[in-house]
Structure 1
Amino acid sequence: MARHFSLSGFPEWLPEQRLVEQHVLSTLQQTFELHGFSGIETRAVEPVSQLLSKGETSKEIYLLSRLQAEAGSDDAELGLHFDLTVPLARYVVENAGRLMFPFKRYQIQKVWRGERPQDGRFREFVQADVDVVGQDTLSQHHDMELPLVMVDALSKLPIPAVVVRASNRKVAQGFYEAIGLTDVEGALRAIDKLDKIGEKAVSEILVAEGATPEQARQALALAQIQGADASVADRVLALGARSELLDEGLHELVSLIEGAGELMPGAIMADLKIARGLDYYTGTVYESTMIGHEDLGSVCSGGRYDSLATDGKKTYPGVGLSIGVSRVLARVLGTPLVETSRKVPTAVLVAVMDEEHRRASDVAAMKLRARGIATEVSPSAAKFGKQIRYADRRGIPYVWFPGSPDSVKDIRSGDQVDADAGVWMPPLEDLTPTVRKLP
């Protein structure tokens, strides 16, 4: 008998939980395609050198190799991808001659990170990404398009409302340079930890990395600014620092907030403590939290990257966001915040009178399946009462009885009517399991 080993950080859902996951994934796919995004899938592995080229992620990468791999072989230095953006950069460069730009893609796949498993954080998890990639240039209006796509997608899921918060790396970088901070990337990484470790700890990190106490205070003052209109820019400028890069970033941020506010009021707000730790972001950055579940952290994040992908001749700027599907599912399933109408896809159980007549039950099931009705045949020819209880335990709403004529029973109401397997249809709400948000 095989021994069971539990590995933390590698979620495995029960069948009824998997129904919720499939509903979420299907809803995301439909919404992304509604906005004109095409689906792709990239390989699970990349050369380690490629994975290491996009930021400080060396501690997160899972290496992949054969037990008998020879030194210098092609698979000697491969790693599992830790996000879907780095593979996208490689995919765009390799297929640039066959893609139409701007290239609008969505991608729903598993990724792997060697993080310490905890609430909402896994070592293997599903991400759902949407990105727009241009060739040499990419219009700034896509910075507003992408978060609104995500707002639309998230609003259709059976989860609490999500608030999208945005900032701009140009604002932070321009401000830091204007006040004399030299380690801009270090400051961004420190500010990115503000919600996790608090102002005092962030200030200590900034000072330890070369900032003066006054510079640390000013950096934290910038990070405290939030708002949903152009007044955000006024409050930044009131801090007294000015630079060309700062002005450019503020213009982009205000355009985003005001434009989004016209299309989806309240969908996006400015929050200048959003920094994003990965090095490839160059402009707008986003993070999102579920209302009432802020302790879970960001469930959807991303940003603008103007130089992530290049072939040496052409540059492919982009902007994108990613939903941590497994993180969201862990919370809504664990609390729980959702429920399914039944635990199995099956809508109809075909009863078996006795084993000699099982073929008649199989024929009825085949007719029902041919018309798109999920059907299974009773595993035993027990008394009809036991077969009905079997259906009830599995949440199957209908039991079919072969005969002359056939009949079908709604075991919830007890109603039973004569029926023809080539014509009968259950109500639409019973055809497939439904998922709803609990009050």
Structure 2
Amino acid sequence: MSKPTPISGFPEWTPAQRMIEQYVLDRIRDTFELYGFAPLETRAVEPLDQLLRKGETSKEVYLIRRLQADADADGPAGDDALGLHFDLTVPFARYVLENAGKLQFPFRRYQIQKVWRGERPQEGRYREFLQADIDIVDRDTLAPHHEAEMPLVIGDALRSLPIPPVRIQVNNRKICEGFYQGIGLTDPESALRAVDKLDKIGPAKVAELLAQTAGASEAQAKAVLSLAEISAPDASFADAVRALGVSDPMLDEGVEELVRVVETAAAHSPGLCVADLRIARGLDYYTGTVYETQMVGYERFGSICSGGRYDNLASAGATRFPGVGISIGVTRLLGLLFGAGALSVSRDVPTCVLVAVTSEEQRAASNRVAEALRSRGVPTEVSPSAAKFGKQIRYAERRGIPYVWFPGVDGAADEVKDIRSGEQAAAAAGEWTPPRADLRPLVS
């Protein structure tokens, strides 16, 4: 077999990095469950008509096709009509529709899964990546206070991790759409998509885009950019919006909802949220509060956690299931920190103790020691060979294993050695416990 060629955009972490990832996922999962979200996993594929019906995603969807598909298998249910999901919100909406009769509303779920998106790979952006989502959906109406709860959950989840501080930027699509209507723009969705590119192309290019795609006059484009410039860590943003002199019922409703989000977050965690009215989120299905989250010091890479309120993504006839959700880009977050060398783990293997083997004839005795330690929750492995003890100790050193256990011979007591300090003492496998800091690898 020839040497494999790496495929960009499909990260494969080292064992040490994977242990960090597992630690991060455990902490995120714990926080989600503390807030009452239940776990869910959906299939990896969805019908193309579902994947493509919302948002500008058609160029990013990976299709599913068998190498030798049956000609008569094509069609609505055939392989050619399936694609890998590009986020977890669309499959979740489909799941709610299919299982509405079995669910209790409001339904709170978390979902941690791989997703696939045909983007150009670059630092922090991948074609296969892991997301950790939470959503709350209800039948017909969803109370606005759920939108204010999202930043609290995400703030607690990210604060539990060994990562830089985060800042959640929040806006409300009703503010933008109401403002655009108030100044006479007839295509608010195109205006939103233009504003969403503000950080990438700058105000001058956005003004041109507003004229080209949303039909904005020079004065309207200037007003749109004035709204996007408003940012505040508290509810004072509302005064800045009103000072622009635009009146619209939807605008007023959006301001009221965003004030609630900012004030709720400030009471829970001062400094966590900032109202930033340039945040638009490009996906078309958002209808209310939208969120983007940046790590302090990594702002140039954009958001590592985003989401928003959606009212029309899940509907069946006259019944709607409005929701609000937010997603942590776990692979994106970790990729940025791994690239900066900002995360480390105390050892490269879970093993806490290596049980030495005196001779191959005595391997069974070493196995019994290992079983006794494992039964008490101590990660343990047995030496792969009965080499001289010095070589077995060096094997443990290379793998970062802190302790080597020496089974007693001819009635002598077992002994355990901390190979970092050199301290060695008699020990019994049914009683000995390592210090808590050594039991599992520590992430820092």
| Distance apart, 1:229 and its partner CA | 2.1
CA displacement at 1:2 relative to structure 2: 4.9
- Which SS does the other structure have where 1:343 is aligned? coil
Q: Are 1:106 and 2:114 counterparts?
A: no
5+ long unaligned stretches in structure 1: none
Pair 1:143 & 2:147 matched = yes
- Closer, same or farther: CA 54–346 of 1 in aligned 2, 3 Å: same
2:185 equivalent to 1:181: yes
- Aligned equivalents of 1:152, 1:71: Cα separation in 2: 51
In structure 1, the partner of 2:438 is: 430
| Whole-Å separation in 2 of the counterparts to 1:2 and 1:14 | 22
Letter in 2 for 1:323: I
Determine if the alignment matches structure 1 residue 201 to structure 2 residue 205: yes
Q: Which residue number in structure 1 is paired with residue 86 of structure 2?
A: 82
Larger mean CA deviation between 328-337 and 109-118 belongs to 328-337
CA–CA distance in structure 2, aligned partners of residues 380 and 189 of structure 1: 63
Whole-angstrom distance in 2 between the partners of 1:316 and 1:294: 34
State the distance in 2 between where 1:263 and 1:432 align. Answer: 32
The CA deviation string for residues 162-218 of structure 1, in whole angstroms up to 9 with x for no partner, is: 000100000000001111112211110111111111111111111122211111111
**Equivalence map 1:11-160=2 (5 Å):** 11-73=11-73, 74-160=78-164
Q: Amino acid of the residue matched to residue 340 of structure 2?
A: T
Please say if residues 391 and 399 of structure 1, whose CA atoms lie closer than 8 Å, have aligned partners that are also in contact. yes
Matches within 5 A, 1:414-425: 414-425=422-433
1:212 aligned partner: 217
Match of 2:333 in 1: 328
Shift of 1:157: 0.9
SS at match of 1:104: strand
After TM superposition, the structure 1 stretch with the greater mean CA deviation from structure 2, 77-86 or 413-422, is 413-422
Mapped pair 1:350 → 2:355: yes
Distance 1:229 1:333 in 2: 33
TM normalised by structure 2 equals 0.97
Q: Counterpart of 1:189 in structure 2: which amino acid?
A: R
Do the aligned residues in 1 keep the contact of 2:63 with 2:80 (CA within 8 Å)?
A: no
- Structure 2: stretches of 5+ with no match in the other structure: none
Q: 1:360 to 1:322 in 2, by over 3 A?
A: same
- Aligned pair partner of 2:306 in 301, 305, 311: 301
Return 251-260 or 28-37, whichever deviates more. 251-260
Q: How many Å separate the matches in 2 of 1:358 and 1:9?
A: 45
- Residue type of the partner of 2:351? T
Match for residue 344 of structure 2? Answer: 339
Q: Secondary structure at the match of 1:308?
A: coil
Q: Distance in 1 between matches of 2:18 and 2:234?
A: 40
TM-score, length-scaled by structure 1: 0.98
| Amino acid in structure 2 at the alignment position of 1:218 | A
Confirm or deny: 8 A CA contact 1:113 1:123 kept in the other structure: yes
Aligned partner letter, 1:8:
S
Kindly state the Cα deviation for residue 72 of structure 1 after the two structures are TM-superposed: 4.6
Distance 1:261 1:72, change over 3 A: farther
What does the per-residue CA deviation read over 1:345-378, in whole Å, with 9 as the maximum and x for residues that have no partner? 0000011112121111111111111221111111
Runs of 4+ residues over 6 Å off in structure 1? none
Deviations 1:65-84 (A, max 9, x none): 11111235232211000000
Render the CA deviation track for 1:310-358: whole Å, top value 9, x for unaligned: 1213211100100000011011111111111111000000111121211
CA distance in 2, matches of 1:148, 1:426: 36
Whether contact under 8 Å (2:337, 2:343) holds in the other structure is: yes
In 2, are the aligned partners of 1:165 and 1:288 still within 8 Å (CA)? yes
Measured at CA, do residues 72 and 166 of structure 1 come closer, stay the same or move farther in structure 2, by a change above 3 Å?
farther
Deviation at 1:55, TM superposition (A): 1.4
Match of 1:9 in 2: 9
Answer whether contact 1:70 1:76 (CA < 8 A) is retained: no
Count residues with an aligned counterpart.
436
Letter in structure 2 aligned against 1:342: R
- Among 398, 402, 421, the alignment partner of 1:413 is 421
Q: How does 1:361-372 map to 2 (within 5 A)?
A: 361-372=366-377
Give the Å deviation of 1:119: 1.0
- What letter is aligned with 1:298? S
1:234 aligns with 2:235: no
Identity %: 62
Query: Secondary structure in 2 aligned to 1:435?
Result: coil
